[in-house]
Amino acid sequence: MEKVSDTITSVFHIAIKDKRPAVNSSGDDATVWSEPFGLGWRLGFSYNPQAWFQVAKVRLYLDHNNCQTEQDQATVTVTLKDAADKDAKGLKERETSISDFGHGQPALLGSWSPYDFALHPYVSLTLNTKARPPLVTNPLPSTSVALRQSLDSGDFVDTKFYVFSAKRSGTTAGNPRVVYANSHSIGLVLPKKKAYEWDGSRILVNMTGDNHINGDSVLHEYEYEQDSDLDDEEEGELNKAEPPPSPSPVPGRFQTGSSSQPHTPTGLAEESIRDGIEDVFPAAPPAYSVSNCRMILIKGVAYKTWVSYIYFRYTGQVSFRPLKSAQGSSKRPAKGPNQPPSCSPKSMYRLAASLGDERMKELARRAIQEGLSKDNIVEEAFSWFTAQYATISVYEVDRVSELRKLPEVSSALRLQLKAVSLGEKPWAHSVLIAIMDKLNPTEPST
């Protein structure tokens, strides 16, 4: 083993018998693990010697869960060589990136035919570790400009965004909450200031009063039923404390007019205090806000998603919660005045795609991919969310194909195939076809 800086290179010799690797004699695809090496990782071999020689594959895995390192990303380069010498001839190198190094699932490094190993029985593995770059970008310069102007004018907030925060029966959302912002700082193209008008496609809807969302309307419709950023309205009602008297003439409705009035609409401030978000965005505006805030409804987006996005537009910082399907997803990011509000990466990806924010899409996509494992990859691949975005779907289909031999993946795949065949997941037909094409590739005609 040779270490140069944060790079470690190891070479393994694979015993060959009858022109096949002799690493497994059990007659199945069980993974055989090496002794720990390097900083504590193990190399795994999965190979069924009973399979037909032409289709049999030898798969290499890296178990990095017990590594003694403070780094959390790694790049692994693997090649098969005909000798242990580092200058020996070998097959083309294969590179694998591990984003959750030290605490994730074993990583598949690649697969080769037994014939490849018979001719090149030495595995050269080079591992380079590094710290994960923080999910932080430079804050927009306009934020500094707006803060500077507020020192003289006393005004910073000029826009009130109304955002639904809870699920309702059917495909609707309710319990609207308010996010206060400076429109110049966030750098979004907002609707023109005019009378209420909605063409059925925009997520940013200009409002002239709260009457548009007090009660049921098309604005309550919510396409993404599985949005984990929406609270369960029924549970919220059971735990809700008795609200204080409402200053609004109509209890339970928003009070229109000056945003500089420190009124507290029913159901807003109490929830903010309970979930800790008030430390970041108070439900009631500060006394120095401008007196004529414009009102904009954010349709089809959850409050947690939108408040995280506005915070990102101010500071360049974003915090994502684990995927709901992931093991240990109950672990939540820390809350507090020094912590950014958190949200689902899938919900944020959906919002960023709607707004055309490529920078945020990339951050959310990376967080989604980091949350995938053998335990949830099939569920995610067949989800409604994945079916909406080709980039996400292609990646997850590839992961299902790579991990299909694992018991957790194969059993979950059978259940999902049954659900699609019964018509329970009509959106997943294209995903099913893509996976079948991966599992049964056809040779091009000549």
Q: What are the tens digits of pLDDT across the range 164-196?
A: 998 887 788 888 899 998 887 787 777 666 555
Beta bridge partners, 76, equal 96, 127
Beta bridge partners, 159, equal 181, 294
Alpha-carbon torsion (36, 94, 46, 132), positive or negative: positive
Question: For tokens 């399907």, what's the residue?
Answer: 325
CA–CA dist 142, 232 (Å, integer): 36
CB atoms within 10 A of CB 232: 10
Question: What mean pLDDT, rounded, does the chain reach?
Answer: 75
Pairing assessment for the beta strands 294-302 and 159-167 based on DSSP bridges: parallel
Domains of the chain: 2-130 (2.60.210.10), 141-365 (no CATH), 372-439 (no CATH)
Let me know if 438 is exposed, middle or buried by CB neighbors in 10 A (0-12, 13-18, 19+). middle
pTM of the model: 0.59
pLDDT confidence of residue 132: 55
pLDDT confidence of residue 223: 77
Ranges under pLDDT 50 in the chain: 1-5, 25, 134, 234-291, 444-446
Beta bridge partners, 41, equal 37
The runs of H, that is alpha helices, within 127-268 are 141-153, 183-186, 233-239
The torsion angles phi and psi of 216, rounded to 5 degrees, stand at -90, 140
pLDDT confidence of residue 54: 52
Q: Element (H or E) spanning 419, and its range?
A: helix 407-421
pLDDT confidence of residue 280: 42
Alpha-carbon torsion (273, 276, 278, 279), positive or negative: positive
Q: What are the tens digits of pLDDT across the range 278-336?
A: 334 444 444 434 447 888 888 889 999 999 999 998 888 889 999 988 865 555 555 66
| Chain CA centroid to CA 274, Å | 25
The runs of H, that is alpha helices, within 276-389 are 303-315, 345-355, 358-370, 377-381, 384-387
Indicate the SS3 state at residue 427: helix
pLDDT confidence of residue 2: 43
Structure tokens at 222: 């919510």
Q: What is the dihedral of CA 229, 340, 386, 329, to 10 degrees?
A: -70
pLDDT confidence of residue 24: 60
CA–CA dist 52, 49 (Å, integer): 8
Q: What is the dihedral of CA 165, 167, 169, 173, to 10 degrees?
A: 40
CA–CA dist 352, 361 (Å, integer): 5
CA–CA dist 30, 132 (Å, integer): 32
